[in-house]
Amino acid sequence: MEDANSPRYRRVVLKLSGEALLGGQRYGIDPQALAALADEIVEAHRLGVQLAVVIGGGNIFRGLQAAAHGIDKVVGDYMGMLATVINGLALQNAIEARGVPTRLQTAIAMAQIAEPFIRRRAIRHLEKGRIVIFAAGTGNPYFTTDTAAALRAIELGAEAILKGTRVDGVYDADPEQVATARRYERISSREILEKGLRVMDLTAITLCQENQLPILVFNINHRGNLVRLLQGAPVATIVHHEQ
């Protein structure tokens, strides 16, 4: 009989926004938020799941904000990619301080501080029990870290993308603004696109749809949620893809 606490997935990609590191701050990295996030990831890793993380950089810099202030869109996007590397380094340091080996891989070459993204090497790291953190998005402007997460998950043969957010799933309206917002337990990618729900960007959703890669949206700030999700607890909205 299968152990109720055994993980339901062999390999997953955890997508985190830079805001997950904000804590109570307006910008930057909050040490308590970083520590709590590292604890969650380490506990999930101890289940035996092969875990990769894609981190955003919105807590430090956003390309969209740069464009609004007159900075060239491409330049702004590259600045945002560098912000994700800062977050990746912080997360790597926090996880390794808890005794778990990691590798930081970047889509932009910066050999002094991280490995370049090499698919076969990333898979080998996962097989050896290391957590792999992906930074710098796809390495290209005009693509979000949502798209980077979808791309890396497909390349690695992951069984799901786990999208950690501030709310416990997908709603028909913003639950932080609309008290009557309805939560979906399951929803198809087609419905998300038709309803214009903000789960991941269009490119990321399309990539997942074409490759039948499920997306599980959950509240990363609720202590223990990541482990419960990996064990099969109904703490996320499942985004599935109709054939």
Higher pLDDT, 41 or 62: 41
Instruction: Say if strands 186-188 and 236-240 run parallel, antiparallel, or are unpaired.
Output: parallel
112: burial class by Cβ within 10 Å (0-12, 13-18, 19+)? exposed
In the block, residue with structure tokens 């957010």: 165
Q: Read off φ and ψ for residue 139, nearest 5 degrees.
A: 90, 5
Q: Can you tell me the mean pLDDT for 35-46? A: 97
What type of residue sits at position 187?
A: I
User: What gap in Å lies between CA 59 and CA 170, rounded to an integer?
Assistant: 22
Q: Read off φ and ψ for residue 185, nearest 5 degrees.
A: -80, -40
Q: Can you tell me the mean pLDDT for 115-134? A: 98
Question: 26-30, 92-96, 136-140: lowest mean pLDDT where?
Answer: 26-30
pTM confidence score:
0.93
Domain 11-240 class, CATH top level: alpha beta
- Give domain limits for the chain: 11-240
What mean pLDDT, rounded, does the chain reach?
93
Tell me the CA distances in angstroms from 182 to 9, 84, 168, 172, 174, one per residue in order. Answer: 28, 32, 11, 6, 9
Confidence tier at 100 by pLDDT (50, 70, 90): very high
